[in-house]
Structure 1
Amino acid sequence: MKLTPVKTPVVAKKMFPNYIWDIATTTKELFLTFDDGPTPDITNWTLKILDDYNAKATFFCVGGNIDQHPDIYQNIIEAGHSIGNHTQHHIKGWATKTNAYIDNVSLAEHSIGTKLHTKKTKLFRPPYGQIKPQQGKKLIELGYKIVMWDVLSFDWDQDISEEQCLENVISKSKSGSIIVFHDSIKASKNMMYALPKVLEKFSLEGYKFKALEF
C-alpha cells in the first residue's frame, strides 16, 4: 500500500500554501514536469516526443547530471523548456541539515546558471518531495518558487505496470494539474510507455502542454 497518493489531497495543499501544487487556469492546460535528468538517451527521447506534440514542459535537473551531460542540458534549453533546480546530488531533505541542504541547492543553481551561459532559475522541487519547513522557508526567502505536484505518475515504481502508470495520469489529471514524470533510467520503461499516450489523449481533447513560468 502506497503512503503517497497519486493525486495530492486538498488538505495537503492547504497545509503548505506557500508551495505550488497546481496552476489556477480557466483554459485547458496541463503542466508536465520531469525530474532527475539530464540522462543520456532518455532525456533526448523525451524532448523528441514533446516536440512531436508541440508540448512544453519543465525539467527539474540534478546539478551533478548537468555537469556530466552539458550537451543534453543544452538540448533542453534550446527546445524552449523551463528548468528547475532539483539539488546538486539528489539529497533527501528530511535527512539533511538545513544549511547543508541550502548549500546543495546553491551548487545546483551554479550548474544551472553558468553552464552554457544560461540564466539562473528560481524554480525548485525537493527530491522525494522531502523538505523540512525551515528549508522551505529559507529557499522562499532566497526567491525560489517551491514546486510540488498535483499528480504523480509513479513511473519510477518497479511494482506497477506501464498501464497503471498511464492510468494514474489519465484518471487524475485535470486542467491546471502539475504532473510528475522522471527522465531517469529507473523510470524509463513506464515513462516511455505512458508519455506518448498522455500527450496524444489530452491533445485530442484540446489541451495545451505548457512549461512553468513565474
Structure 2
Amino acid sequence: MPGPVRRLLPGCLWEMPATTNTLYLTFDDGPIPDETPFVLDQLARYDAKGTFFCVGENLVRHADIARQTLAAGHRLANHTHRHISGWSHSRPEFLADVARCQQELNELLPAPEARPLLRPPFGRITPPLAAALAATHQVVMWDVLTCDYDRAFPAAQCLSTAIKYTKPGSIIVFHDSLKASRNLRYVLPRYLAHFAARGFRFEAL
C-alpha cells in the first residue's frame, strides 16, 4: 500500500515488527465449506497459524467450520457482517454492520476479546471511520496483497509477486472464497513450502 495511504490511516496495522522470521497469513471472506477446509489442511502441514477475517453472514451459515478453525488454533476476526465498503456506506451503517459481525464472533469465541481485529472489505475505509472504529477494534490492513481473488491474474504470477514482496513481519492477504479458489489452491501450498524451507514461521496476529 502506498506510503501516503498509510499516513492517512496511522492507527491501522500494516505489518508486524520484523524482529524474527515470522509471517502473518490472513484469510478474508470465509468461512465457507468449499475453501476454508482446504486452507486449514494446508496450514496444518506446516504447523502454521493464521487469522481468518470472517464475514458475519458466513459465520451464521457455517458456524461449524468457524469452530473447526478455532479448534485448530487459528484466530477469527471481523470482516463486517455483509462484506460492505466503508466508502459507499454511511458511518452509522458501517459501524452497525461491524457490531453485528462481532456479535456473531463473540458467540463462537471462548471469551470476548478486549480489542478484536477488523479488516474493512476491499481495504476501503476513510480516516474518520478508522478513528471511530479505533475505540472498539484494531483495524488491520496488510503489506502483501496476493491478488488471489483476481481471476485475470495468472496463478504463477500471483505466487511470484507475493514471494517478492514478503519480508519478516509481513501481513499477507489470501481469500478463502470461491472467487479466489483457482489462485488460492495453486499459491498457498507453494507459498507455505517456499518460506518454511527458508526457516520462516507462520503465526496468527
Q: Which residue of 1 aligns with 2:170?
A: 177
Q: Which residue of 2 aligns with 1:138?
A: 132
Structure 1 runs (4+) greater than 6 angstroms displaced:
none
Q: Which residue of 2 aligns with 1:15?
A: 8
Q: Displacement of 1:124 after TM fit? A: 0.3
Note if 1:111 corresponds to 2:104.
yes
Instruction: Tell me, yes or no, if the aligned pair for 2:8 and 2:127 is still in contact at 8 Å.
Output: no
SS at the partner of 1:67? helix
Instruction: Tell me, yes or no, if the aligned pair for 2:34 and 2:178 is still in contact at 8 Å.
Output: no
Corresponding letter in the other structure for 1:118: P
Q: Displacement of 1:165 after TM fit? A: 1.1
Q: Percent identity?
A: 42
SS at the partner of 1:94? coil
Instruction: Tell me, yes or no, if the aligned pair for 1:66 and 1:112 is still in contact at 8 Å.
Output: yes
Instruction: Tell me, yes or no, if the aligned pair for 2:28 and 2:175 is still in contact at 8 Å.
Output: yes
Instruction: Tell me, yes or no, if the aligned pair for 1:37 and 1:184 is still in contact at 8 Å.
Output: yes
SS at the partner of 1:180? strand
Q: Which residue of 1 aligns with 2:119?
A: 125
Aligned-residue CA RMSD in angstroms? 1.1
Which of 35, 38, 41 is equivalent to 2:34? 41
Q: Displacement of 1:166 after TM fit? A: 0.5
Mapping of residues 2-81 of structure 1, within 5 Å: 8-81=1-74
SS at the partner of 2:87? helix
TM-score (norm 2): 0.96
Q: Which residue of 1 aligns with 2:81?
A: 88
Q: Note the residue ranges of structure 2 that are not aligned, 5 or more in a row.
A: none
Alignment partners' CA distance in 1, 2:85 and 2:9: 18
Q: Note the residue ranges of structure 1 that are not aligned, 5 or more in a row.
A: 1-7
SS at the partner of 2:24? strand
SS at the partner of 1:156? coil
The CA deviation string for residues 48-82 of structure 1, in whole angstroms up to 9 with x for no partner, is 10000110010000011000001100011001111
SS at the partner of 1:73? helix
SS at the partner of 1:186? coil
